[in-house]
């Protein structure tokens, strides 16, 4: 069926099964309410098979899953529930999350830090990153050809997570070839704890930040969607450090008129006039 040339078709490219909602959930909900066709494509949502890395086993335990539970399937169901709540469509990619991947030398890409919930990324080859970005970009091109978006939005990769960086770079290369405008969202909750310059691939730079204020009902809808990720709420939320309080405070510090808002940047290509 041909697309309505006047309709907005928003393609959100999320690294993991929660990133789009955490960072840009209110924007997704508002776009859907305004009549846009919204699709969230999650790149690193591929089904992983045991044996799992020690880091993955540790995370599964923290998420409250049994050793024989299919963690990716569980998280996919959470994602579907969250995106259904926002009234947007979903598609799950084939690539493995970093906790399930190995380096060319056989080592696991990520290792868990003893006594803590954090993960450490082992040294890895830039060549392997390049190959991964190319494969992800191929899949994004196929989705662009099918969905024909009028705008793509993805992560800025604040926090330097390898999956976020691969997603961002692949999206930039694919949208450049397809001549689709792209914006980058502020990675939350990473940006609450870490700031700094975002380094884009050669030929791309960030435009001026845009903090879009959202209606209270869109903020509520986003937070309700985030709560659908029950496995991740164990990591993100706590009695002493409430996730939603932190997101509210961060937004108030950035929004020019207070209230809740989400930050994005347009991407400018070096060959643009």
139 belongs to an annotated ligand binding site? no
Annotation-wise, does 163 bind a ligand? Answer: yes
161 is in an annotated binding site: no
What does each C-alpha distance from 102 to 59, 97, 146, 213, 248 come to in angstroms? Answer: 17, 10, 31, 41, 37
Is residue 176 marked as binding? no
Pairing of β 37-42 and β 89-92: parallel
| Alpha-carbon gap, residue 14 to 164, rounded angstroms | 8
Encode burial over 150-173: b for 16+ CB neighbours within 10 A, e otherwise.
Answer: bbbbbbbbbbebbbbbbbbbbbbb
Contacts of 7 (CB under 8 A, 6+ apart): 35, 36, 37, 150
Find the DSSP H helices in the chain.
19-33, 54-62, 71-86, 126-147, 162-178, 190-193, 216-226, 230-236, 243-254
Three-state DSSP class for 160? coil
The reply to whether 68 sits in an annotated binding site is: no
97 annotated as belonging to a binding site for a ligand: yes
DSSP lists the bridge partners of residue 30 as none
Distance, CA of 260 to CA of 84 (rounded, Å): 22
Q: State yes or no: 135 annotated in a binding site.
A: no
90 is in an annotated binding site: yes
Report phi then psi at 71, rounded to 5: -65, -40
Give the bridge partners for 232, in sequence order. Answer: none
Output the known binding site.
16, 19, 90, 97, 124, 129, 163-164, 186, 250
Output the known binding site for Zn(2+).
16, 19, 90, 97, 124, 129, 163-164, 186, 250
């Amino acid at each position: 069926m041909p697309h309505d040339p006047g309709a907005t078709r928003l393609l959100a490219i999320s690294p993991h099964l929660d990133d789009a909602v955490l960072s840009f959930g209110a924007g997704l909900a508002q776009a859907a309410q305004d009549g846009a066709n919204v699709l969230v494509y999650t790149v690193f949502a591929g089904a992983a098979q045991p044996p799992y890395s020690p880091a993955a086993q540790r995370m599964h335990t923290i998420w409250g899953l049994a050793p024989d539970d299919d963690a990716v399937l569980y998280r996919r169901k959470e994602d579907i529930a969250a995106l259904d709540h926002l009234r947007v469509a979903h598609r799950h990619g084939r690539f493995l999350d970093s906790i399930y991947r190995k380096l060319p030398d056989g080592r696991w890409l990520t290792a868990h830090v003893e006594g803590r919930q954090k993960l450490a990324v082992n040294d890895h080859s830039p060549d392997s990153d390049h190959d991964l970005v190319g494969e992800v970009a191929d899949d994004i091109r196929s989705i662009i050809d099918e969905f024909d978006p009028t705008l793509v939005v993805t992560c800025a990769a604040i926090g330097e997570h390898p999956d976020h960086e691969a997603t961002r770079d692949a999206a930039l290369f694919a949208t450049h070839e397809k001549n689709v405008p792209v914006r980058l969202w502020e990675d939350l909750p990473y940006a609450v704890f870490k700031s700094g310059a975002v380094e884009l691939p050669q030929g791309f730079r960030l435009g001026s930040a845009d903090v879009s204020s959202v209606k209270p009902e869109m903020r509520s809808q986003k937070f309700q969607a985030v709560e659908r990720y029950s496995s991740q709420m164990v990591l993100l939320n706590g009695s002493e450090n409430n996730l939603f309080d932190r997101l509210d405070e961060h937004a108030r510090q950035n929004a020019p008129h207070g209230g809740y808002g989400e930050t994005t940047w347009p991407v400018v290509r070096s060959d643009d006039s």
